[in-house]
Amino acid sequence: MKAIVSVVGMDKPGIVATVSTVLADNQVNITDISQSYAQEFFTMIMVVEFDKNKVSLKELSEKLKEAGEEIGVFVSIQHEDVFRAMHRI
């Protein structure tokens, strides 16, 4: 399954490490990553792939949200098809 992970918040050390650790712990592969900074603001988009039989999208979403809350950023994950449909012009 492919999904899109979005991270938004104030820049601080450890954001990439925290999110990627949650993904690695759940055997999720990061296939693409983009991040940017605007003054003190941080955004990151990751394209990930994982076996939905090993971890569900809902379970992964909860783990990412919890990790984000611990470091003060907003983290969400959406199935690739949902993300594409929401951003279709």
Give the pLDDT confidence score for residue 47 in this predicted structure.
97
CA atoms within 13 A on the CB side of 62: 4
pLDDT (tens digit, 9 = 90+) per residue, 22-48? 999 999 999 999 999 999 999 999 999
Q: Say yes or no to pLDDT of 87 above 70.
A: no
For the whole model, what pTM was predicted? Answer: 0.90
The CATH T-level fold of domain 2-86 is: Alpha-Beta Plaits (3.30.70)
